[in-house]
Structure 1
């Protein structure tokens, strides 16, 4: 294959990685950017077939072993290095609340099984929504590696194009019959995309062979005609040459238009239905691989080709950086973080990636194994620490606890933050769950919905309200506010609103609880509620909800969130005699948005009428003497984790409130 043709392949790779970057950093503007991964799969199939073709004259054992050595030599060192760097960053700069989920995720990433679903939280788009898992993106490398295990044997099938086409059709059918979250990650439901790439290479190779034969034949005829018509005027020859040029131009325009279509689909600002976009991108990419020439003005663009060159480094490094951007609430600086990802990728590409690919197989094997051992050491070291002491929701603390002990426990609660939002439901903090063990002789039915705060309150709701009710249905999704369908990078929110309405209509609860940490409801505030689009959206959504609620919708009022960086500093600040009002002020963020949210909620209760009532924590946490919210006790134990969830102590602090509430409000 010519160098120019390989430049085209890098151009396709460049388009693919740009799509992925757009989707991860600016999902509101590039909702179809995830299709770049589909392009990677097609391109991978094309290149794998090319590599196997180059060695098919060797014995089968040599061909297969050569293939695996070359692929793992290319992938493993950088992959394991990025896992190592990500783990170091996890402990140094990421919130403690992200450590546990990433330890579990890294264990799967190291052995390339990140695409194996275990719970709802393993869903790819749910992980993107949460942005907590810095190894989410490794699912595609897992799919690739798993495909590598079977591709040599697919290559050896007889009647190659026919066999691969049949398997592609079966795989595509499998893709569409599986649930979407499983199909998205399943290698067998993705094989058809790799095989499109393989078929594209076989056809491209056949066309190239035929073209070379025709070209050689034409050269002979041309020499003969030149010798016969040496003295003739060349007007007729010019006409024939012109016709050939026009045909070539028309052909090039067709391919170029297809490239433009691919770019338009991937970067289209509105979501395109997956059943249309995925096969379209896959097939068009295959056709482009077959027919594009090495001098294509779009694909051979040097900038695009360079982006393709660094695409592997960029793909591996961009998501941890994007995740940090989102977790720390700095999404407004996404462009800056994207620039950082590109710069870091360039440095890694030129300093490490280009270097190690030139090393011997033995050296790379030792390097890769060393990195794997170091990564496993980090993971198992954390597991050892993690098992020192278990933290219970029933934890009772006495006044003789020291600040040092408070510091240790606050850190431990941050590490185990996920446990604070996990109550029954097979360990699933999000999704839909019906709680069992309630008295079926009771008549009341409770419906609780919202974001992770719903799950954070589930134990209290079950234990304090449960004795009076027959059924409790809980629905939760990360980082959403069901009363407001706000423009968000979290793709699952609109669908969740539809699910809430559907479940309310089917369940028809006596009481419903909207338990949500407010985010967007406090933004873009105006006192003109009649012309406030956010408030009107909240009001309309509430009215749709309450029509299927028999008695009342209880809405948890806003309280300000905490600055995750300050939670671990509470005890240290008390040790250093920092005033509590100063600690309070440093601990709280987005106070104005909280105030605006409370005003909108107050107006909502007025407009909703008797069917809506506020649940207000203001009196529990607001200190009139310092005019601040205080989320810790006198011993320095925090009520709120760095993940903005109530800790075990925080939940116990809320228990008397809920005991009284359930006794007085549920009839």
Structure 2
């Protein structure tokens, strides 16, 4: 170790300054540490509220990991002379005292907000997510719908961001034992290299959340503290023993100036990386920002002009509250269609975080361990109570109509409103059929193997939503049924998208079609972007030409025909909530119809493109259209409910159980006529 220190101390840098330049590096770096926190949380906020402008802002979490490793090593160093058990227990008490109370409080407040102000269709997925969040296993990726970046784009899961706290808590379980390893800096370096290698060989979505693929970032922080401490200790020792080389005032000033320039350039470069408006590949940006943060932690001084800025340091002070609070607020902003007001929601997140920091956070951090323990346990069991209390989920009174089989009786508008509401709550649950996972590739079982036809369905959640009715009505005629789906994508159109897996899914569709070679394929996709930037000049329409080229490629592996389900307008969730109320108030149905759907112009444009697509595709393509089904008796508006007010669609534009019954005859006739 002495040899390593001597080697480091001889290094000369570009600006002709060296470690022999004597300046005091205080171990108490409160302001500069808070400044780094401030930069990190600002990067995360930019990524979550304005992802198009700050696509690399997620690297702020990587900075948090490095800083956390630095602080953990600092805490353990302060108590390393204590008996080992006392040292470890003291570490856990201090860290859990800091993290748990506020964490459990924010989960509690978020759950209350979930039931009071969030759309009903978000409840089920968030209940499942919160159950993992309260025990710090949010980073366990199980299915495609658990993917972190997919959840960010959908903004459905208000607990998505707790994955990083889960990673940190899981690292806490091993960090004291890593700290106790012999030849500390060498041991930590070797483990870091192994962890970094693990990060690169794992699939990106798994590596992103895996604690073992993240250990290297925490260890960079720990190594940074050890180097920082050794440099500071070496200087103090030389100063006391009068062994330092004499440096005149002009040389010392020059040395100090060069040092300050180097550190400030490093800080500015770090800020530029996390705020760069063009996406940098994670395999490059993540190691870069990790090492840069480590270097800044080693050499930045407490009074650094950038990091010790009072505003930046205060943002660092509230960073924990702000991190926990900001995503539920951002999620509400996106899911309610108010992204244009993102700056106002960001301001709200900052204000709420300041209030929590100045009141609750400052209060509990000064309380005794027993008070913290009681507070944390109380909040934990309150969260468990909400998560397991069906009264929050089911608001049905005894004797009320709660399912379709009871509709033959005299159902009231209150009963119908209650049932529509329940279908909203069960939207995600009702998407599942034969498999627990919603998205991905699945071969349905239980079909008659004496048949010969093979069918293939692909698209987004609209495909998943139709799987049950297709199985019921087309299944008796087929031998094999393969279904593939992903959230938020339109497989025929490679549009510029934040949904990073859409291009990958398109390749998967091509591959599965090539292997499965179905007799019939079904493109069942809720329109998202195909209706954008419409023009009647199809020859020069880049959107249309993209879907035409993709269709021509796909039909090569379809033996008989590709069926394309035409677009319908998406439903307005808020208007759906008032459906029964409007019917009871005798609002004209045509007026209710128009309120119920949104994006009508985009729907019309998508429909025109699909119609032209079928013409240009030729005999191998055919359009399936719900137009007549949702325009009963020649009415001029789409009608998404029956005469009693029972909705055919949920707020997520998915078929309700009543909607399944409504479209069954349509699919029965279609399959009997076309699947031959």
With the length of structure 2 as denominator, give the TM-score of the two structures: 0.90
2:649 corresponds to 1:640: yes
Q: 2:413 aligns with which of 381, 393, 403?
A: 403
Q: Decide whether the 8 Å contact of 1:407 with 1:571 is kept in 2.
A: yes
Range with bigger deviation, 160-169 or 375-384: 375-384
- The residue correspondences of 1:80-229 to structure 2 (distance < 5 A) are 80-216=104-240
Q: 1:444 aligns with which of 429, 441, 453?
A: 453
Aligned length: 650
- The residue correspondences of 1:279-358 to structure 2 (distance < 5 A) are 279-358=287-366
CA distance in 2 between partners of 1:8 and 1:160 (Å): 25
CA distance in 1 between partners of 2:546 and 2:259 (Å): 51
Q: Decide whether the 8 Å contact of 2:144 with 2:439 is kept in 1.
A: yes
In structure 2, the gaps of 5 or more residues are 1-24
CA distance in 1 between partners of 2:146 and 2:338 (Å): 24
Show CA shifts across 1:560-614 (max 9, x none): 1111123233223323333322322222222222222222222222222222221
Corresponding position of 1:458:
467
Show CA shifts across 1:9-68 (max 9, x none): 222222222222222223333332222211111110100111111122222233222222
- The residue correspondences of 1:35-54 to structure 2 (distance < 5 A) are 35-54=59-78
Show CA shifts across 1:278-324 (max 9, x none): 22222222122112233333333333322222211111011111211
CA distance in 2 between partners of 1:385 and 1:599 (Å): 41
Q: Decide whether the 8 Å contact of 1:555 with 1:615 is kept in 2.
A: yes
Q: 2:91 aligns with which of 52, 67, 77?
A: 67
Range with bigger deviation, 97-106 or 536-545: 536-545
Q: 1:612 aligns with which of 596, 618, 621?
A: 621
Q: Decide whether the 8 Å contact of 1:420 with 1:645 is kept in 2.
A: no
Range with bigger deviation, 49-58 or 624-633: 624-633
Range with bigger deviation, 117-126 or 312-321: 117-126
Corresponding position of 1:649:
658
Corresponding position of 1:414:
424
1:625 offset after TM fit, Å?
Answer: 5.9
- The residue correspondences of 1:177-576 to structure 2 (distance < 5 A) are 177-216=201-240, 240-382=248-390, 385-386=393-394, 397-398=407-408, 400-424=410-434, 426-576=435-585
CA distance in 1 between partners of 2:118 and 2:341 (Å): 17
Range with bigger deviation, 297-306 or 387-396: 387-396
1:220 offset after TM fit, Å?
Answer: 8.2
CA distance in 2 between partners of 1:31 and 1:507 (Å): 37
Q: Note closer, same or farther for the CA distance 1:160–1:395 as it changes in structure 2 (3 Å cut).
A: farther
1:394 offset after TM fit, Å?
Answer: 8.4
Q: Note closer, same or farther for the CA distance 1:623–1:399 as it changes in structure 2 (3 Å cut).
A: farther
SS in structure 1 at match of 2:481: strand
With the length of structure 1 as denominator, give the TM-score of the two structures: 0.91
Q: 1:583 aligns with which of 579, 589, 592?
A: 592
RMSD: 2.6
CA distance in 1 between partners of 2:545 and 2:105 (Å): 50
Range with bigger deviation, 208-217 or 194-203: 208-217
Q: Decide whether the 8 Å contact of 1:393 with 1:651 is kept in 2.
A: no
CA distance in 2 between partners of 1:56 and 1:383 (Å): 50
Range with bigger deviation, 8-17 or 312-321: 8-17
Q: Decide whether the 8 Å contact of 2:460 with 2:490 is kept in 1.
A: yes
Q: Decide whether the 8 Å contact of 1:133 with 1:323 is kept in 2.
A: yes
